[in-house]
Amino acid sequence: MASQFPLKKNAAAKVVFPIYDADGDLVSGAADLDSEYSLDGGSFSDCASEATEIGSSGIYYLELTADETNGDIVTIQVKTSTSGAKTAVLVFYTGGSTLDELRTKVDDLDSDVSTLSTTLTQLASLLKTVFAHTV
């Protein structure tokens, strides 16, 4: 699976998180979920979708749209009416590229440097040959 770290700015993403109660136990079946986002410390707005529980695990996911990640700091809060459940708060500092995208760029650069090194070695050999015949 591709990395989503750091959260890429202005790109759709899926985030996964738990909902806990006051004792630190996972809350399964949290009711009336209300998912909201804030960009760069601005007002909270409703997310396009609501959080969904994975099975009966107390672990939830939320699909974010590109618009909902179009800030340097993305804050998510997921509220529930379930008694004793705590609001889940997630904070992301976005980046222009994910680690996987950066790794690909580094691999491409490494390949380019290797090709350049081979070319320079061939050029040096050619120059030695040319200058050997002119002296």
Q: Which residues contact 31 (CB under 8 A, 6 or more apart)?
A: 80, 81, 82
How high does pLDDT run on average in the chain?
A: 88
Mean pLDDT on 78-93: 97
Strand partners, 16: 61
Q: Spell out the residues 6+ positions from residue 26 whose beta carbon is closer than 8 angstroms to its own.
A: 18, 19, 20, 57, 58, 59
Q: Count CA within 13 A, CB hemisphere, residue 52.
A: 8
Give pLDDT tens digits for 22-80. Answer: 999 999 999 999 999 999 999 999 999 999 999 999 999 999 999 999 999 999 999 99
Q: Hey, what CATH topology would domain 13-93 get?
A: Immunoglobulin-like (2.60.40)
Higher-pLDDT residue of 124, 73: 73
Please tell me the distance from the alpha carbon of residue 9 to that of residue 39, in angstroms, as a whole number.
11
Query: pTM score, two decimals?
Result: 0.72
Residue 7: Cβ within 10 Å count: 19
